[in-house]
Structure 1
Amino acid sequence: MLSARQLHAKGRRDPLLPPTSLAVARGELLLVTGERQDQRTALSLLLSGRMKATGGDVSWDNSPRTKQLRLAAALVDSPGVNEPEEHLSVRDLVTEDLALIPRRYRGALLSGPWLKVNRFEDIADLWTEQLEPRRRLELLTALALANPRTDLLVVDSPDRHSADGLTWLPRLQELAYDAGRPLAVVAAVSAVPAWWDGPVAVIGNDVPQPAPASPADGSSPLDEAHADDATASPGTHAGKHSAEAGQDPEPTQTTLETEVAK
């Protein structure tokens, strides 16, 4: 399970990531919404162990070790971080990504056979910028899963390629709910599709709320309440005592004026 509690990061001026808490287990898909791209990317980097937090904590399988999180997590298509370069062909992208897999897991993985086995031969000679959103996500997630140690997918802003959730959400559901290899999947998005009824979190959902301001004279809210009772109009006191006695209070002029206004 991936768990984050009050995870946050400072920026130059505004918070790069305001305090955010969430949790997602294997076999689950969590959508995390945030309007700002920089905050979605910061969250994705932190949840995948690619960036150090200013505060809060994040753990994978109850371990706070960044190394363990980083080994289990794959960061997918993060803009300005690891999104495919436009000048690359799909074949070259696959060659580069397979070379990053630890040698003990890589075996004889070559781009040609891998493209054939994973049914990407039809797009092998396209430039990455030519890929339509659905096939792009299918390719990038398949490459992430070429490493057998990947148990967590963190997908950065898949909806930036298409506002239609049908181009990216079904693929993420398929990966999370795969009975043969269930994954914990987190997608940082700008908005949740209207038809999505699964778990959702919001960036900044754990920002501490300011404490109520104390009166300047040092009196407590309870003192103020008693003071209000002492200065209340006779009609107000009558209504209060009638309510305590279990009777309906007689309507005061103020009450009547309010009802008329309604």
Structure 2
Amino acid sequence: MDGWCDVHIHVEDVELAGSHAPLLLPTSLEAHSGEVTLVAGDPGYGHVALALAVAGRMVPAAGRVLVDGIEDRARLQRAVALVDLAGVSEPDGGLPVRSVLAEELALAGRPARRRDVRSFLAQHEAGELAGERWEHVPAGLRTAWLAELAGSRPGVEALVLANPDRFGGDPFAWWSVAHGLAARGLAVVVQCTHASARLLRHPVHHERGASA
């Protein structure tokens, strides 16, 4: 993200329909530039559906998603990046780290040759991981790298971190990543389980399937 861009995303009683049952029950939340919004909910497809709605990639069956006060799916699609969303933007765990990072660098509009990947890993003191399978990298590092690169894509103003706790590990690792990105001016939505929210000792103001 180049500089500070104010953005306000308002998810208002959004529902998403499935073939046989609702994908997402009515859910409301707000996200602002420079802030982290935590949304708690049980694991399942609902968190994928909510992330896709926030990013303008699914049309709600009811309710609406506003960006700066208006319904503008095209802007949401440009402005919101989905970080590690299962089945959507989640990297293939069997790929080597160098391949995953090369693709993420390219998406961010940055040079993505092998030497550029080596440079990125060197900056993060992780050069020895270049040939490792992505799934073998500690969960906290995976989330940090994916979020950092997604946040640097041209035009991105907001990020959705989709259940980073599904890989286990210390929740404070991805929580600190989220706050670091918010400090850069991004609006950051983090979806996690109620158990993770309790570990973080963070009050739950937004719940999936429970409108405020």
Settle same-fold status: TM greater than 0.5.
yes
Residue by residue over 1:198-243, the C-alpha shift from the partner in whole angstroms, topping out at 9 and shown as x without a partner, is 6630012229xxxxxxxxxxxxxxxxxxxxxxxxxxxxxxxxxxxx
Q: 2:145 aligns to what?
A: 139
Give the conservation status (yes or no) of the 8 Å contact 1:98–1:110.
no
Confirm or deny that 1:174 pairs with 2:184.
no
> In structure 1, the residue corresponding to 2:198 is in which secondary structure?
coil
1:32 and 1:128 map into 2 onto residues whose CA distance is 27
2:141 and 2:205 map into 1 onto residues whose CA distance is 25
Q: Aligned pair in 2 of structure 1 residues 198, 149: CA closer, same or farther (>3 Å)?
A: farther
Normalized per residue, the structure richer in strand is: 2
Confirm or deny that 1:4 pairs with 2:4.
no
Note the C-alpha offset of 1:111. 4.8
Percent sequence identity is: 31
Unaligned 5+ segments in structure 2 are 1-7
Q: Kindly provide the amino acid, as one letter, of the partner of residue 188 in structure 1.
A: Q
- Which of 151, 162, 186 is the aligned partner of 1:183? 186
Q: Aligned pair in 2 of structure 1 residues 2, 115: CA closer, same or farther (>3 Å)?
A: farther
Residue by residue over 1:137-173, the C-alpha shift from the partner in whole angstroms, topping out at 9 and shown as x without a partner, is 1111122023132110001111101163223211112
Residue by residue over 1:233-262, the C-alpha shift from the partner in whole angstroms, topping out at 9 and shown as x without a partner, is xxxxxxxxxxxxxxxxxxxxxxxxxxxxxx
Note the C-alpha offset of 1:108. 3.9
Confirm or deny that 1:204 pairs with 2:195.
no
Q: Kindly provide the amino acid, as one letter, of the partner of residue 200 in structure 1.
A: H
Aligned residues: 200
Note the C-alpha offset of 1:132. 0.7
Of 117-126 and 64-73, more deviation after overlay is shown by 117-126
1:195 and 1:95 map into 2 onto residues whose CA distance is 32
> In structure 2, the residue corresponding to 1:193 is in which secondary structure?
helix
Note the C-alpha offset of 1:115. 4.6
> In structure 2, the residue corresponding to 1:168 is in which secondary structure?
helix
Of 150-159 and 44-53, more deviation after overlay is shown by 44-53
Q: Aligned pair in 2 of structure 1 residues 23, 193: CA closer, same or farther (>3 Å)?
A: same
Confirm or deny that 1:61 pairs with 2:52.
no
- Which of 175, 193, 202 is the aligned partner of 2:198? 193
Q: 1:18 aligns to what?
A: 25
Structure number, greater radius of gyration: 1
Note the C-alpha offset of 1:124. 2.1
Q: 2:54 aligns to what?
A: 47
How big is the alpha-carbon RMSD for the aligned residues of Structure 1 and Structure 2?
A: 2.1
- Which of 70, 74, 77 is the aligned partner of 2:81? 74
Q: Aligned pair in 2 of structure 1 residues 74, 115: CA closer, same or farther (>3 Å)?
A: farther
Q: Kindly provide the amino acid, as one letter, of the partner of residue 206 in structure 1.
A: S
Give the conservation status (yes or no) of the 8 Å contact 1:90–1:124.
yes
1:45 and 1:173 map into 2 onto residues whose CA distance is 22
Give the conservation status (yes or no) of the 8 Å contact 1:36–1:190.
yes
Residue by residue over 1:41-86, the C-alpha shift from the partner in whole angstroms, topping out at 9 and shown as x without a partner, is 1101111122221121102222311110111110011112221102
Structure 1 ranges of 4+ moved more than 4 A: none
Q: Which has the higher contact order (CA 8 A, sep 6+)?
A: 2
Q: Kindly provide the amino acid, as one letter, of the partner of residue 156 in structure 1.
A: A
